[in-house]
Structure 1
Amino acid sequence: MTAHRHRTSRGDTPRRPDDRRRTFPRLAPRSGDDAPAASWWGDAWVEALEDTALDPARLARGRSYAGRGHVDAITVTPGRVTAYVHGSRPRPYRTDIRLRTLGDEEWERLLDIAAGRPDHIAALLDKDVPHALADAAELLPAPGDLIPDCSCPDDGLPCKHAAALCYQTARILDEDPFVLFLMRGRGEQEVLAELTRRNAARSAAERATAQRIMAERTANRGSMGGRSGAGGQIPPPLLATVPAASVLAARSLPALPDPLPVPPHPGRPPVYPEAAGAPDPLALDLLATEAAGRAHTTLRTGRDPLTGLTPWQDAVRLAAAHPGSGLTASTRALYTALARATDRSPTDLARAVAAWRQGGLAGLTALEEEWDPPAGPFDRARPALIAAGFPDGPAFRPRHNRLSTPALQLRLGRDGLWYGYESDPGRDDWWPRGMPDTDPVGALTALTGH
């Protein structure tokens, strides 16, 4: 995403780069008897949703989804609220709520009203929204202002996933009403900085007016107005100072605090909204989840779990961690991209994923490596199969670390485990199947089911 700088309408107060994007973690489930919102502005948000809903049943299901915690982390940007909402399918749905942002003239009116009332500024700092301020520039949505959009096939207005997102957003608004300002176009720090500037300018103007009135009164009394301190002039306030010696004096720093304990589970990544020219948000979510798990393991064990993996092995690991079996559009796209990046075919990757899911890195090694095991367990495997009564036992033929029939194969890995494979007879197209075992009889039993 292209970085850019933004200034307020007056052009003199830069905002923080992340001030117009905030992500709130998934809210904890709560009882269905609780009210959707606890503040009057949260109630107004819910009413804007419910007054335009066409199906009360969808609203009820959305409220149930929200109460059960089906809404993931919520990201708020100007004019948009985004989250993934879990429904009846394994993959969550991407859900958006859009609303109009305020224009420059509306912001000017809103900020002027807020800066002119010290009680308004105090209320905002106390996480409260005065009614008069909210009404000044239509800060709260009216019926029809909230436009839902969801990747689910339901064309309801709203669907239950969008309704769930609206109900959870009301809880966020309860805790932080500055989210209302962000939805309408400006972040908290940006608004507070502009209010501070306007309040300072207003105070300076009032002070100048007071000085002028006092000077005029003094002049009317025939006082001397040209000397310092005469004419009713108010001296500027003294600035606080610090002696240079105290700054430069040697001092010892306190000991660093103990490191924080490692959390029991990796954190959840933020939600990545779609943006023109940006990577696919689900691909970013996958990479962020992988990075969080890797960092958590490194913190917990002091060792990077992926040290030593080749790009191909890491691509197989990433694909194996993705849910599904290659039948969904997102999984096919992932397999195609990873296969192209490693100069392999999607079929090669799918076979390698099956081996990784069978035995991790050792399973992938068993797929790709032929080697000559020492005398011992390998030599005893074929007699053990015959003694166990497998009808295919005598048909297994040894080659390097593999025992094969036309349709079944056992491979001895360097980790001492036997890995099962199957192929259509005569095709020599072997695919990993079953669970590995230290005993060839157990591995063949897992492969054949008897």
Structure 2
Amino acid sequence: MTTPRGARGAVPRHDDRRRSFPQVAPREAPDGRFAATWWGNAWVEALEDAALDPARLARGKAYAGRGHVDAITVTPGRVVAYVHGSRPRPYRTEIRMRTLGDDGWERFLDETTARPDHIAALLDKDVPHALEAVTGLLPAPGDLVPDCSCPDDGYPCKHAAALCYQAARLLDEDPFVLFLMRGRGEQELLAELTRRNAALSAAETTAAAPPMPTVPARAVFEAAERAGLSLPPPLSPPDRPGRPAVFPPDPDAPDPLALDLLASEAAARAHVFLTTGHDPVAALTPWQDAVRLAAAHPGSGLTASTRALYRDLAYALDRTPTDLARAVAAWRQGGAAGLAVLEEPWDPPAGPFDRARPALIAADFPAFRPWRNRLSTESLQLRLGRDGLWYGYESDAGREDWWPRGAPDHDPVGALTDLLGR
């Protein structure tokens, strides 16, 4: 007799989008790292690059090494665990991140299916660099958002840092944990890859149609002109840019990542020009174009290859990699307008700027000091752009090391609220 669905004793349905992992045993890391794979270390670097207090990171790493992180639960966009601190009761800690949209997963599945060695690598618990370059699976600086029930308002606190370090160990053991963080479960992905791989194999075994005879285009146009016929309408442009060729690794060839980046950029630029008649890059200065290029590249600044991209672009324009990283953060915050806000202080006319300080005080925010288009405290800053938007910035207290944070807003209170994550 079959057991009715939902009856006592029935086998529970497997939830492919929720996985729990037992407490990771403490272990020593001889080289000081908590991860052994490139993607595990990239995950850690994303948190470290965005952290405002290195001392909290060090304490978090020590907590992770001493086994203070309990069982970890991973669901799309969220990593949750209880972390033991100095008090008897552990704190509920989580790391949030953006999940990939349908277009991102389509790129991932297309790229993986196109290369049998990519499927083999994933089944062997390995992540090819090419998949990260196409889809941006790994978080960029600022993509990881920590939260903790402890009273520490650090970004991140030591408990969130400990959870992030321990999560890197899970990624080392099983990269499908990373895919789950980004929104898709292991069985779901494997089923779709199997289906697409079967369809591709069937298409490749289908007999090819005989080639059609060809006629030079010039001969057709000349014949049409002699006959007084008008040219046919142009073909409709494709929906999206074409995909670049796959460049196999070769020690004697140029960097395949750089070639892929340049080819992708050329395809995207040509597609925009073809569909709009406008070249989106023509009006940019070399510096703006370098910032745009670095900001548009998935995972910029995380892996060895993309760190080399930052270094080379910065060197070519007589800037430092830190200058470029700060400019990339501004570009991601507001495009060319955001970069102008970073680099060009100006004197705004009376009006919105003068009304901002009373509005912030009325919303119970601390008093801000004005200077040109900027309002500042010891660690927070709002900058009014020429586009009428307020842009949030953050710095360590007592240091003039301002970094763009949050989303711009027409309302200074809204921009500051987004910056503080309220």
TM-score (norm 1): 0.48
Question: Which residue among 322, 340, 358 is the counterpart of 1:383?
Answer: 358
Q: Give the aligned partner of residue 339 of structure 2.
A: 364
Q: Give the aligned partner of residue 408 of structure 1.
A: 380
Question: Which residue among 248, 251, 265 is the counterpart of 1:273?
Answer: 248
Q: Give the aligned partner of residue 102 of structure 1.
A: none
Q: Give the aligned partner of residue 374 of structure 1.
A: 349
Matched, 1:431 2:403: yes
Q: Give the aligned partner of residue 178 of structure 2.
A: none
Map 1:49-448 → 2, pairs under 5 A: 69=110, 71=112, 73=114, 87=122, 89=127, 91-92=129-130, 171=202, 174-175=205-206, 251-252=226-227, 254-324=229-299, 326-390=301-365, 392=366, 394=367, 396-448=368-420
Deviation, 1:326, is 2.0
Post-superposition CA distance 1:69-124 (Å, at most 9, x none)? 553556xxxxxx98898847484469xxxxxxxxxxxxxxxxxxxxxxxxxxxxxx
Q: Which amino acid aligns with 1:174?
A: T
Distance 1:166 1:397, change over 3 A: closer
Distance 2:278 2:405 in 1: 31
Post-superposition CA distance 1:367-426 (Å, at most 9, x none)? 000100111111111011011221x1x2x1111100011111000011110000001111
Distance 1:271 1:72 in 2: 13
Is the 1:70–1:86 contact (alpha carbons within 8 Å) kept by the matching residues of 2?
no
Distance 2:339 2:120 in 1: 35
SS at match of 2:227: coil
Distance 2:269 2:119 in 1: 23
Distance 2:337 2:120 in 1: 37
Q: Which amino acid aligns with 2:332?
A: R
**What number of residue pairs does the alignment pair up?**
243
Deviation, 1:307, is 2.1
SS at match of 1:409: strand
Q: Which amino acid aligns with 1:375?
A: A
Q: Which amino acid aligns with 1:338?
A: L
Deviation, 1:171, is 5.0
Distance 1:84 1:258 in 2: 42
SS at match of 2:265: helix
Is the 1:83–1:271 contact (alpha carbons within 8 Å) kept by the matching residues of 2?
no
Q: CA RMSD in A?
A: 3.6
SS at match of 1:271: coil
Q: Which amino acid aligns with 1:292?
A: A
Distance 1:291 1:368 in 2: 28
SS at match of 2:408: strand
Is the 1:73–1:271 contact (alpha carbons within 8 Å) kept by the matching residues of 2?
no
Distance 1:273 1:262 in 2: 29
Distance 1:85 1:446, change over 3 A: farther
Deviation, 1:434, is 0.6
Distance 1:269 1:325, change over 3 A: closer
Distance 1:86 1:350, change over 3 A: farther
Distance 2:291 2:257 in 1: 18
Distance 2:288 2:268 in 1: 17
Post-superposition CA distance 1:325-354 (Å, at most 9, x none)? 522112211111111111110000000000
Distance 1:86 1:309, change over 3 A: farther
Deviation, 1:273, is 2.1
Distance 1:432 1:330 in 2: 24
Q: Which amino acid aligns with 1:426?
A: G
Distance 1:272 1:373, change over 3 A: same
SS at match of 1:287: helix
Distance 1:153 1:279 in 2: 32
Distance 1:86 1:175, change over 3 A: farther
Is the 1:378–1:412 contact (alpha carbons within 8 Å) kept by the matching residues of 2?
yes
Is the 2:327–2:342 contact (alpha carbons within 8 Å) kept by the matching residues of 1?
yes
- Higher-Rg member (1/2): 1
Distance 1:90 1:355, change over 3 A: farther
Is the 2:111–2:131 contact (alpha carbons within 8 Å) kept by the matching residues of 1?
no
Distance 1:253 1:275, change over 3 A: farther
Distance 1:70 1:373, change over 3 A: closer
